[in-house]
Structure 1
């Protein structure tokens, strides 16, 4: 591996650790009783740490998909079409597996109670979670790791490489650095789709839409099955 590629790899792992430890610090302050406004650190860090890192290295942040495309950009339509296809393919199997998981493993049952603030749930997961995380992990990390390992695998019309897989692993493990949950390893599965969408479209908005859909769907199902209060 060349010194330049090694430097990028060190940059990515180092910045990832620093960013997540800062987020863990913000979460700890909130758990200690500090106002929930401190949690705004999460999207802010995910959106602006890449910009700072790139500028520090003398690189142009606009060369990376770290923002939303213009409203007339055809990538919006492409994102919606791809999400319609993917969600159409996975929604029913996922809901069926979720039902079996909750009823057979945990003894829960369908209660039919909807979230009390569905619009807030949707907005939170789209703007506070999905878009910032996709900007960081797919717009920044996956893009930079593609400079370390050149994408060379053609998968369903998208060219991907080892950087895609490494990003998925760090994305999943990063959740446990902030708040540990035993099932975080499973996050790798949807993140493969997030990374594929980034490579397919050249932007992060398609992955952000699917990312948000995953969170929102689980949020609704968890409420409907009584896992969390409405």
Structure 2
């Protein structure tokens, strides 16, 4: 028999994650609900963890999912660590992005052939190939000087950029971090404490498993095997959470990553 101070069971946490994503998928088949399923998913990410821990406010506070608000307390140090992580990670990522699509859109598909072959045996067969084909029809090699912001960023005299930043932080990154790192990873860590350190930060099975759930969840929104690659940034978000003790580090880095990807895509594959 469990007491109110016992952590949620791992099976409960994983079951809740599965239920949230299955519910999101099913909403897409219900007339009138398909248009609001994204909002429902965000609400679930924000509020389900706090509801499950409503009788355990200290644990909710430690997980940074409550008890008074699903928004974690602001942490300036976490913001500085996120900024430093971006300074280290983003330049080589940009170089890798330019090189990768230069190869793929130039006809050297050996980098994606294994994924295409794997997807051929899945219900999503052909999705990745079609996606890359559509992108490469608009491909323009990056010359190092031309930056094209997404059209949505340039709307309303570039006020669209402010809107995009707010959406990425509060509608995309923060709810995903609250649910996957704050709640799911924390529950898993209580059952499977980290046994290793990466750059001085405790890191273990909980970080890996929660990142795997994070990646698989991305398939629900777009059934394309390439989206499983979100597993790797998920590991970095987990590391930032453990490094700083604040969900804001992973949130800000997560949002910045998405915004950077939007700019890279609009620059490399301009519309029209």
TM range (shorter): 0.7 to 0.9
1:207-218 aligned at under 5 Å gives the runs 207-218=250-261
Could you say if the C-alpha distance between residues 59 and 124 of structure 1 is closer, same or farther in structure 2, counting changes exceeding 3 Å? same
Displacement of 1:171 in angstroms is: 0.9
Q: What corresponds to 1:221 in structure 2?
A: 264
2:97 corresponds in structure 1 to: 98
Further displaced range: 119-128 or 142-151: 119-128
Q: 1:68 aligns with which of 67, 71, 79?
A: 71
Deviations 1:151-188 (A, max 9, x none): 23222232222111111111111111342111122111
Unaligned runs of 5+ in 1: none
Relative to structure 1, the CA distance from residue 33 to residue 114 in structure 2 (aligned partners, 3 Å threshold; closer, same or farther) is farther
- Higher alpha-carbon deviation: 45-54 or 104-113: 104-113
Q: 1:25 to 1:123 in 2, by over 3 A?
A: farther
Aligned to 2:178: 135
* CA distance in 1: counterparts of 2:98 and 2:61, whole angstroms: 43
Cα offset, 1:89, TM superposition: 1.2
Tell me by how many angstroms 1:34 deviates: 5.6
Hey, what does 2:148 align to over in structure 1? 113
Shift of 1:91: 1.4
Matching of residue 160 in structure 1 with residue 163 in structure 2: no
Q: 2:238 aligns with which of 183, 187, 195?
A: 195
Matched, 1:8 2:9: yes
Question: What is the Cα-based RMSD across aligned positions, in Å?
Answer: 2.6
Normalising by structure 2, report the TM-score: 0.72
Deviating more after overlay: 123-132 vs 80-89: 80-89
